[in-house]
Every structure is written in structure tokens, then in C-alpha cells.
Structure 1
Amino acid sequence: MSQKRSIFEEVSHDQKPEVRTGVIDGARRGSRRAVRWWLILLFALVVAMIGVGGWTRLSDSGLSITEWKPIHGALPPMNAADWQSEFEKYQQIPQFTEQNSWMQPSDFKSIYWWEWGHRNLGRLIGMVWALGFFGLWAAGKIPTGWKKRCVLIGALGGLQGAIGWWMVASGLGEGMLSVASYRLATHLGLAFIILGTISWYVLLLGREERDLMQARRVREKKQFGLATGWMHFAFLQILLGALVAGIDAGRSYTDWPTMGGQFFPPYAFDIEPLWRNFLENPGLVQFIHRMSGYLLFAFGTVAFLRGRRSVNRTTRSAFTAAWLAMILQVCLGIAAVMTAAMSHVAITHQLMAVALFVLIIRARFAAAYPVSTSVRG
């Protein structure tokens, strides 16, 4: 039987109770890390998807599969009869009859594999999202308030699959040799929306919620506003680039800084009705993309100069990185024009657009949640 102890009894300094602190915070940090690594994997897959999609477009492979089979289409042709069946379906569409009638089955296989790979990469992304989301949910690893955000990414991915087929279907109709450029722009635009959303979430999960709440109070409003405008402007330029790619406008005028030896391209409004020129006239579409690029560079430079005035080193570095990426992207754009959009230059230009877009988002995040540094630091 234990003895009663006096309330005046001295407690030895050697007998200190065991105190465990930070258990809840540690669990939260673990959950945030798990979701963040899952999103980083999705981010890498989406970047790969944009790259493969760009090469599929450059190689004119996007119409090689003329049916939408979300599940059964995961399997490629397994024998000669299956290959012949797929080839015969391709032979029925205008792209073959009016442009690629020279193709033999061996030629068809080379474009089929690119489109098959593109679609199956999309299936892989969907599977990684589903396994990650439901696995983290079952394990209780999704932090409070993040379930809807994770569902949003999955919903956008599902919508992207539907838009992908909507795009392909536009190229199967009479008189169409490729997909409609505005549908291609919609498809690429949504890919960048998904990429941007994941990027923002990864940045949020990279810091503690408590830290974010404190940083939000000292938001750098001027830099944040300019970075937001820069991000939207870059997104618009990406859409215009998709319109250029959709009609091969990048191969229509290969001189720079002029177009056909003059500032404004000739025959810019030859298509009737007038509005179609803004989507289908190669000279006008490329001209708009060029002018928008110049304006974007000017706006980005203003944002960079304002960002360099931040008192926080992390913010200054983020704006500098985005501005340097923009300079490189301008050089790649000029190179794409002067090489008539050679495949390796064009795909590098597209992937550089990914890097630029993400770096602008990073600069915007740095202004929204500045990392304070001491005067000495």
C-alpha cells in the first residue's frame, strides 16, 4: 500500500515526469508530407503528359486512334488482324485520304504508338490519383480541409479526359486534316490549370499551417498583384501558342523580327467570315502570338523590377528566377520561328512554358506568404 505524501514534501530534481510534446503537430506534419509527395508525383506525370501530348501533335499522331475506349483502349493491338483493323479505321478519315494516303501499316504503327502512349499516360495519372486519394483517406493522412482540394484535382483530370476526346472528335469530320485549334487550346489550357493547381497545393503543403497564417498577415500586395497578372498573362500566351500549333502557323513565316519582310503579315484577313482569321489564318495567328509575347515580356519585366524591391530575399529570388526563365522562353520562341518549328525546338519551347508558368506561380506564392528574414540574414 502506497504511503501518503505531504504536500510540503520536496520533490527530487532527479525525478522529472516524462512529457511528450508535439504529438499532434507531428502527426499533422506527417500527413502534409504524405499528401505533398503524392501531389509531386502527380505533378511530374502531368509535366510528362504535356510533353508527350506536344510530341503527339508535332508528329500528327493524334488522330491515329479513331475511337474512345477509356477502359478497353488500354490494350494495344495484339496481333496482325488487330493492327489491320485499326489501320482500316484510320483509312476512313480525311487525314489519311487527303494527306497520308502514302502510309503503309508500318508507318501507321509509328504514329499509333504515340497516341496510345498519350492516352495510357492519362490513364496512369487517373490511377495514381485514385490510389493515392483513397489510400491516404483510408489511412487518415489527408489533413483537415484538404479532402475537397484533392477531389478537385481528380475532377479536373476526369474533365480533361472528356475534353481530350472532344478535341480528337473534331479532327474526324469531313474536310478536317487535324483537330480544331480552339479545342487543342482548351485541352492544353486545362492541362496548365491542373498543373498550376497542383503546384500551388505543393507549395502550401511545404510549410506549416501556422507559418502560413502568420505569413499571410504580411502579404506583399504589390508583388502579389503583379505576379497574379503575370500568371494570367502567361496563361493567355500559352493558349495563343496552342492556336499557333493547331494550324502549324509557326511554319508560315520564318523571318524575325519581320513577317514576310514587313511588320504586319500580308493576307491576314483573307478568310471569310472575318472572325475565322483569328483562329485559322496562319499569318494573323502567329502575329498575335508574337505581339502578345512582346507585351508579356514587358509586363514580366515590370513585375520582376517590383519583385526585386521586396525586403524578403526569398521573394526577390523567386521573381528573378521567373524573369530569367522568361528571357530563355523568348529566345526559344524566336528559335522556333526561325527554324520553322523544328520538332526538338518546338517541344523544348513548350516544356519551357511549363517551367516559366510554375516559376511565376512560385513567385506569386512567395509574395502571398513571404518568408521573413532578419536584417542580418
Structure 2
Amino acid sequence: MPFDTARPSPQPIAAGADAAAIARWLLAVAAMVWIMVAIGGATRLTGSGLSIMEWAPLSGALPPLSEAEWQRLYDLYRTIPQYALVNQGFGLAGFKEIFWLEWIHRLWGRLIGLAYALPLAWFWWRGRIPAGLKPRLLLLLLLGGLQGAVGWFMVASGFEADRTAVSPYRLVMHLGLALGLYAALFWTALGLRHPVPQTLPAKAGTVRRQVKAAAWLVLAAMLAGGFVAGMRAGLDYNTFPLMDGRLVPEGYARLAPLWRNLTENIPAVQFNHRLLATLAGLAALGAALAGWRHLPPGRARAACLLLGASVCLQYGLGIATLLLVVPVWLGTLHQATAVLVLTAALAALHALRPPAA
């Protein structure tokens, strides 16, 4: 019949349904990575990260099941500097307290791997992955595996002589890769949910540039925060806005060559984090104001406002964490909220994409 030829093909509907299903899956995995970042922060703040001294991707999924196994692991832990210099004599009961948090951290990483790999295999087998997406999904799988290897590379640095914590450089590498993996998962999901850029007014270009500036400053502040965490620099200069009564702390450039101060000098590391956070906050507020003024109500405008609000929240949490000398719960919340800021920045950038040429 003639009208049958005008009936829309079911293929685009199926493709759209597949894209929506894959987007939901990727968002769920991204949420798990977000939780992983928070658990990692708590693990670091409690000094639990060095309690498991073996790299056992399969057998390590099970906790110790006998007193003999607990004692073996405790004896291993007693061979590293952290035990001798920080936890000497805290006994098997004290060891179990730090062990469980690190074990949960690693178990959650394994669960993320399963939550990604098994649905990926199912979507692939059913032929439900949209054209052109397979290479990116495979790359995300490889990045997840690399993150596990980098995590162990980081932990191993804490076993070296005279160390009671992991290398700040390896910690920042581990944190940066986690944030990159989260960003890739979230951005891919956004692309599947909103494949066509919005039609926005001409002033959207100005807002886009402001959001880009804020996003880069946010990323720089996060990585600088990784060095603050790695060096425990938040335990010093617990006043705000001045540091020991000075805007720029004494000894800011005491190391030579000069670049070492950026990553190895506590006064400089903390000051740089404060400075970058302040610049990121100002840039995000500027982007939010520009979005409010120049964008119509909708996804792009809401994302810009969320960026401004989340940066303000994160800035306040950072000050509170500093003034209270880094309590574990607040330090963990500060690290988790950093992912909220990253989420808002990515959502704003995605919503402000220019139309395709």
C-alpha cells in the first residue's frame, strides 16, 4: 500500500534505544569511578593504602580467611617503613582496621572492571554498539586496566626505604588517570544522549570560552591538590587567607632548581593550590554569570550555573578542611566534590559545543 512506503524505518529507533542503553551503562560506571575516587581519598587520609603488600588481581578478591593468613599479611606489613615509623606496636587489631579500607578500595576497583567488561561483551555480542563507538569503548577498557596497574605502581613506592607514604608524583598520576577515565566515560555518555549540538545564540561563543578557561583552571587546581594530598601539605599553614601572616609564605622558592618548588616544597605546593583554586572559582563564577546573561533557559545555562555553584561549594569545603586540619570525613568529601566540579565543567562544555560544520 502506498502509505506503507512513508512509514519510518525501525532501524533509527533501535539505534537510538541502543545508544540510550549504552549511555545509561556508561553513566553507571562513571558513578562507580566517582565513588572510587572518594574511597581512595579516605584510604589515603587514614594511611591505609600500604596495608596490602601483594599484587594479586584474582586471589586478592578474597579477604584473609584464617588467623594464619592474617598473621602472614601483618608480618609482611611490619617489614615496611610505615609500620616502623608510624604504626609500630599497634598489633594485629590495628592492622585489620587499616587493611579493610584498602581491601574495599581494591575490591571496588575489581567491581568497576566487571561492571564495564561484562556489559561491553554483551552489547558487542548482541550487535548493539553504534557504528564507530567500538574503538572508544575498547580504549576505555584499556584505560581501566592501566589504572589498576598504575595504582599498584603507586602503592609500591610506599615500600621504599624511609617512606611512610606513596610518592606524590605517582599519587597525582593515579588521581589524574582516574579523573581522565571518569571524564571519558561521562563525555561519551553525554555524546550518546545528546548527539546533536543545541542551537544557541551568537553570544554562546563567549560563554564557551569562559567555560573552557574555568575548566582548565579547575583541572590544574585538582592536580595541584594531588600534590597537597601526597605531601600532606594541608597539615601546615592552617589559616586562611594568609599563610603564617603572609600572602606568599616564607620559603616559597627555597628549593633549587626552581621548578622543584612546584611539587616538592610544602609552602609553595599549598600556596599554588590556593591560587589555582581561587582563579578557578573566579573563572567559574564568570562563566555562570555569562551563562545566565547570554543563554536561554535549558541544558547549557543550567550546566554553567551548576559549574559556578559547585566550585563555590568546593572552595568552601577546601577552606574548612584546611582550618580544621584535614579531618578524614571532610578531606574525603572535598576530594569527592572535586568530581562534581569536573562533572559540571564537562556538562557545560558539552552543552556549549558549536554546531557541526
The reply to whether TM is greater than 0.5 is yes
1:329 to 287, 292, 314: 314
2:92 to 105, 114, 125: 105
Tell me the distance in 2 between the aligned counterparts of 1:38 and 1:16: 38
| TM-score, normalization by structure 1 | 0.88
Is the CA contact 1:329–1:353 (under 8 Å) kept in the aligned structure 2? yes
Q: Aligned pair in 2 of structure 1 residues 17, 226: CA closer, same or farther (>3 Å)?
A: closer
Answer yes or no: is the 8 Å Cα contact 1:309–1:316 preserved in 2.
no
Q: Choose from 72, 76, 81 the match for 1:85.
A: 72
Deviation at 1:214, TM superposition (A): 7.3
Residue 266 (1) aligns with residue 250 (2): yes
Judge conservation of contact 1:255–1:337 (CA < 8 Å) in 2.
Answer: yes
Which residue of 333, 340, 357 maps to 1:348? 333
- Give the Cα–Cα distance (whole angstroms) in 2 for the partners of residues 325 and 31 of structure 1: 32
Cα pair 2:147 2:178 within 8 Å, conserved: yes
1:26 CA drift (Å): 1.1
State the 1:275 CA deviation: 4.4
> Does the aligned pair in 2 maintain the 1:218–1:369 contact within 8 Å?
no
Moved more, 130-139 or 306-315: 306-315
Contact 2:30 2:186 in 1 (8 A): yes
Deviation at 1:276, TM superposition (A): 3.8
Query: Which amino acid in structure 1 is aligned with residue 23 of structure 2?
Result: R
Percent of aligned pairs with the same amino acid = 36
CA contact (8 A) 2:43 2:101 kept: yes
| Conserved? CA contact 1:223–1:364, under 8 Å | no
- Scaled by the length of structure 2, the TM-score of the pair is 0.93
Q: Is the 8 A contact 2:35 2:336 kept in 1?
A: no
Q: Is the counterpart of residue 148 in structure 1 residue 135 in structure 2?
A: yes
What is the letter of the counterpart of residue 42 of structure 1?
V
Q: 1:140 to 1:217 in 2, by over 3 A?
A: farther
Partners of 1:163 and 1:49 in 2: how far apart? 15
Structure 2: gaps (5+ residues): none
The answer as to 2:222 corresponding to 1:238 is yes
**1:129 matches 2:113:** no
User: Which residue in the other structure is 2:187 paired with?
Assistant: 200
Higher helix share: 2
What does residue range 308-327 of structure 1 map to in structure 2 within 5 Å?
A: 308-314=292-298, 315-327=300-312
Hey, what's the Cα distance between the residues in 2 that align with 1:167 and 1:351? 20
CA offsets per residue over residues 315-349 of structure 1, 9 Å max, x none? 22221111011111111111111101111111111
SS in 2 for 1:194: helix
Q: 1:26 aligns with which of 13, 34, 44?
A: 13
Q: For residue 279 of structure 1, report the CA deviation from its aligned partner.
A: 2.2
Per-residue deviation, residues 193-236 of structure 1 (Å, max 9, x unmatched): 111111111111113x4xx1675998933322332232222111
Q: Following TM superposition, by how much is the alpha carbon of 1:95 offset from its aligned partner in structure 2, in angstroms?
A: 0.4
CA pair 161-187 structure 1, distance change in 2 beyond 3 A: same
Residue 16 to residue 349, structure 1, CA distance change in 2 (3 Å): closer
- The amino acid that maps onto 2:12 is D
Cα gap change, 1:262 to 1:239, in 2 (>3 Å): same
Q: What are the within-5 Å matches in structure 2 for residues 33-48 of structure 1?
A: 33-48=20-35
**Aligned residues of 1:28 and 1:143 also touching (Cα < 8 A):** yes
Report the equivalent of 2:177: 190
| 1:16 to partner: Cα distance | 7.0
CA RMSD of aligned residues (A): 2.3
Select the structure of larger CA radius of gyration. Answer: 1
**Residues 220 and 368, structure 1, Cα contact 8 Å, conserved in 2:** no
Task: Name the residue aligned to 2:49.
Answer: 62
Deviation at 1:29, TM superposition (A): 1.2
Q: Of the two structures, which has the highest relative contact order with CA contacts closer than 8 Å and spacing of 6 or more?
A: 2
Contact kept? 1:56, 1:114, Cα under 8 Å = yes
Structure 1: runs of 5 or more not aligned:
1-10, 371-377
Pair 1:71-2:55 in alignment: no
